[in-house]
Structure 1
Amino acid sequence: MFKTLDDIGSGKRVLVRVDLNSPVEDGIVKDNRRFSRHARTIRELVDAGHRVVVMAHQGRPGRDSFVSLEQHADILAEHVGTPVEFVDDVYGSAAIDAIRSVDTSEVLLLENVRMTDDELPEKPPEEHAESEFVRALAPEFDCYVNDAYSAAHRSHASLVGFPLVLPSYAGRVMEAEYEANTSIASREFDGPVTMVLGGAKATDVIDVMTALDEAIDTYLLGGIVGELFLRAAGYDVGYDVGGTELYDHQWERNEERIRELLEERGDRIRLPSDLAGERDGERVEFPVEDVEKEQPFLDVGSLTVDRYGSVIEESAAVFVKGALGVFEDERFADGTVGVLETIATTDCFSVVGGGDTSRAIELYGLDEDYFSHVSIAGGAYVRALTGQSLPAIEVL
């Protein structure tokens, strides 16, 4: 197991990697729960009298979201409750001078680490540790803290290079995410374990189902993957209509595996009994037995929500990966929000993962405290569920 903030001591020069990657609209960076989560780690380091320097990324080169972290410093400061200085440099002379000027309990945010050539290549930690980026910054610090669990599936320089050259620790987000997201394999539950699976990436869902096998008693499917499984079961859904490009290519890639899962675990897989679409601007629900797919379906129906709710209420643990519908449109949020509300009011261990699903909790005013853990990770959450390696955790 990795070391945590409890093992650092006090009065250190600490380099902290967080994940502040956020939506950007018209050049404006939007606040989100990542700031508040990581602020807890940073605040704890500040309160312990450390000199704190923060690294983070935003977007990727070539995308509209690839912007400076200058706005992030102001948002982060609001959550930490102390000023956060910003320097528009990562490891050059301006950055080094700013780092050396940080005093006890002060916080400095470096520029977007993906603006350096050394950051993005997927390389072994040993190679990243020898990069100019790591070699320039490491001597300025006593230790390194990685709190960026949601980026832990990446073998990038700021995530895997520093633990080889500095005493290294997991931040509170990293610690909590790791414990919750591996609990499906590491914990024993006194009762049935249920997994709600949806979203747009069928391959991810199928990988999760394949990897977990006997760890799950019941799978509740929705979203695009739910339609693909319904197609395999003989219903007239699960293919593209009206200009969509969501189903057919995923069907071609996964048809054999879907059919195998239905054959092998059909008694544990629950499929939607009704689906919702749009007619004259209103939500309309269709029983799957009677449906002919002439328009896109955007949610599971109310009968499905009731059936799934009954399963959840009898569960000792519930894990969620992916939304059951297009919840951003309030007309088609019933499936996702209805299931989340049932989980929230059920006495069970619950983990809600995936950026979209956790965003629904915030969007519809659900209280995070009613869930055991709400993950801010996407790709790392899927990797944890499927037992794949997370390079940034391995080096810790």
Structure 2
Amino acid sequence: MFNTLDDLEPGQRLLVRLDLNAPVEGGTVQDNRRFARHAATLEELLDADHAIAVLAHQGRPGGDTFVSLEQHADILADHLGQDVAFVPDTYGEEALEAITALEAGDVLVLENVRMCDDELPEADPEEKASTEFVSTLAPSFDAYVNDAYSAAHRAHASLVGFPLVMDAYAGRVMETEYTANSAIQERSFDGPVTMVLGGTKAEDLIPVIERVDDTVDRFCLGGIVGELFLRAAGHDVGYDVDGTAFFDHQWADHQETIESVLAAYGDRLHLAADLAYADDDGERAELPVEEISKETSFLDIGTDSAAAYADLVRESDAVFVKGALGVFEDERFADGTVDVLRAVAETDCFSVVGGGDTSRAIPIYGLDEADFSHVSVAGGAYVAALTGDTLVAIDVLSES
């Protein structure tokens, strides 16, 4: 498959690609699960007397979250319990001087790779390997480690260029994420396999249903994708009200596919029987879908639906979760997501919870991450793994 840290000789100068992309609130970068996961990889490398320079990205050019990585270095330092240096340069003279000065046990964060013209857009790995960015930086290191699984579906220079010109290894996050998330394609299970699909991006999830039909026995739908399938089933939901912009454009773009998937997999698609909303007093209220005339936003699946989904989970040999079933950040509308996650945690099954947003519900509501086989920090890469799509950064690591 690919080389891992088990194959890496100690005491080297390493270029390590992490995914530290994080929320930014009021100009302040927020700590999240990715920092802790990647810090564990760095700790293992430091224990092996490596000197480390970190490549990472934050936001996209022109976006509100497109900021420097200086704060990321401070957050990493907190997780590692040691100083982490930062240089406001990626492969210029200042960066190269800082890299040359690295000694065993040092960690240096280079500036946001997306501030380099060569990083974006996506292109063939061979083209990215020949960029000035890669050709300038690579000679300063003994080896390259890619731990950025959540970005592994992107053909950006820092992800696919270096493995073609230097020894390359998968970090622990890359290794464990790939192994767990590809299980649906590579493992066989003795009992029923259940997939829980929710969140806001129906267009990402519809192909999942079609691509894993040989492996998954039943799908439990909630969130935006759930409402769109309820609309296809003839219920008065699945369109925008109150100024929202979640449903109508996705319905216009994917109506035919949604209707054809419902017709083809109807007996395996479990749709919500009731939905929850905020009443005039701001309290949680619920209605059976047969009685709904949509005049307000629905923010969770109902109690009966959550119980039915939880029952399906409890009789499963494997459960894969992608996306929340409601607005779990609001405690009033967390029941669907939390009840299903709690059922997964209590069931002796192979389980993967995917997507950074959904996984946040685990600590928020007092669940134990250890009760799940794997909690993924990936979004797009997790969807790609579920459908069996190529992850280009994995491919180049394997070639290396």
Q: TM exceeds 0.5? A: yes
2:317 — aligned with what? Answer: 316
1:277 to partner: Cα distance: 0.5
In structure 2, the residue matched to 1:228 is 228
Please state if 1:372 is matched with 2:373: yes
**What is the distance in 1 between the residues matched to 2:231 and 2:65?**
36
Partner of 1:91: 91
Counterpart of 2:263 in structure 1 is: 263
**Which one-letter code corresponds to 1:331 in the other structure?**
R
The alignment partner of 1:285 has SS state of: strand
Structure 1 position 103, deviation (Å)? 0.5
Distance 1:354 1:139 in 2: 35
Residues 120-129 or 361-370, more deviating = 361-370
Q: Which residue in the other structure is 2:121 paired with? A: 121
Amino acid in the other structure paired with 1:297: F
Residue identity matched to 2:92 = G
* Aligned pairs for 1:214-363 within 5 A: 214-279=214-279, 280-363=281-364
Deviation at 1:353, TM superposition (A): 0.5
Deviation string, structure 1 residues 319-354 (Cα, Å, up to 9, x no partner): 001110111111111111111111111111100001
User: Matches of 1:219 and 1:338 in 2, distance apart?
Assistant: 16
1:200 alignment counterpart = 200
Deviation string 1:273-299 (CA, Å, 9 cap, x unpaired) is 100001121110101111111111010
Q: Equivalent residues in 2 for 1:53-132 (5 A)?
A: 53-132=53-132
Which amino acid counterpart does residue 192 of structure 1 have in structure 2?
Answer: P
Superposition pairs of residues 131-210 of structure 1, within 5 angstroms? 131-210=131-210
Q: Secondary structure at the match of 2:212?
A: helix
Q: Distance in 1 between matches of 2:271 and 2:33?
A: 32
Q: Distance in 1 between matches of 2:88 and 2:367?
A: 37
Q: CA deviation at 1:377?
A: 0.5
**Which amino acid in the other structure matches residue 216 of structure 2?**
I
Deviation at 1:131, TM superposition (A): 0.8
User: What residue number does 2:6 align with?
Assistant: 6
Q: Spell out, residue by residue over 1:57-93, the C-alpha distance to the aligned partner (whole angstroms, 9 max, x if none).
A: 1111111211111111111011123221111110011
Distance 2:255 2:58 in 1: 36
Corresponding residue SS for 1:214: coil
What is the CA–CA distance in structure 2 between the aligned matches of 1:330 and 1:344, rounded to whole Å?
19
Q: CA deviation at 1:384?
A: 1.1
Gaps of 5+ in 1: none
Secondary structure of 1:15's match? strand
Alignment length (residue pairs)? 396
CA distance in 2, matches of 1:388, 1:12: 33
Provide the rounded CA distance (Å) in 2 between the counterparts of 1:60 and 1:266. Answer: 39
Whole-angstrom CA distance in 1 between matches of 2:88 and 2:264: 55
Q: Using the alignment, how far apart are the partners of 2:109 and 2:246 within structure 1?
A: 39
- Whichever residue aligns with residue 55 of structure 1, its letter is L
The superposition leaves residues 79-113 of structure 1 with CA deviations (integer Å, 9 ceiling, x where unpaired) of 12322111111001110010011101211111111
Distance 1:365 1:98 in 2: 42
SS at match of 1:103: coil
Instruction: State the secondary structure of the residue aligned to 1:326.
Output: coil
* Distance (whole Å) between structure 2 residues aligned to residue 63 and residue 160 of structure 1: 24
Give a deviation string over 1:149-188, Cα, whole Å, max 9, x none: 0011111110001001110000000000100110001001
- For residue 289 of structure 1, give the secondary structure of its aligned residue in structure 2: helix
Tell me the secondary structure at the aligned position of residue 215 of structure 1.
Answer: coil
Q: Percent identity?
A: 66
For residues 200-255 of structure 1, the C-alpha deviation after alignment (integer angstroms, 9 at most, x for no partner) is 11111111001111210010000011111111111111111222221122112222
Gaps of 5+ in 2: none
Mapped to 2, the partners of 1:67 and 1:362 lie a distance apart of: 27
Residue 22 of structure 2 corresponds to 22
Letter in 2 for 1:180: A
3-state DSSP of counterpart to 1:335: helix
Counterpart amino acid of 2:185? A
Secondary structure at 1:242 match in 2? coil
Deviations 1:3-61 (A, max 9, x none): 10000111111100000001111111110000000011111110001111111011111
Superposition TM-score, scaled by structure 2 size: 0.97
Q: Write the letter of the residue equivalent to 1:23.
A: P
Q: Distance in 1 between matches of 2:213 and 2:253?
A: 20
Distance in 1 separating the partners of 2:208 and 2:46? 39
- CA distance in 2 between counterparts of 1:147 and 1:60 reads 20
Residue 144 of structure 2 aligns to a residue whose secondary structure is strand
TM-score relative to the length of structure 1: 0.98
Secondary structure of the residue aligned to 1:250 is helix
What is the deviation of 1:365? 2.8
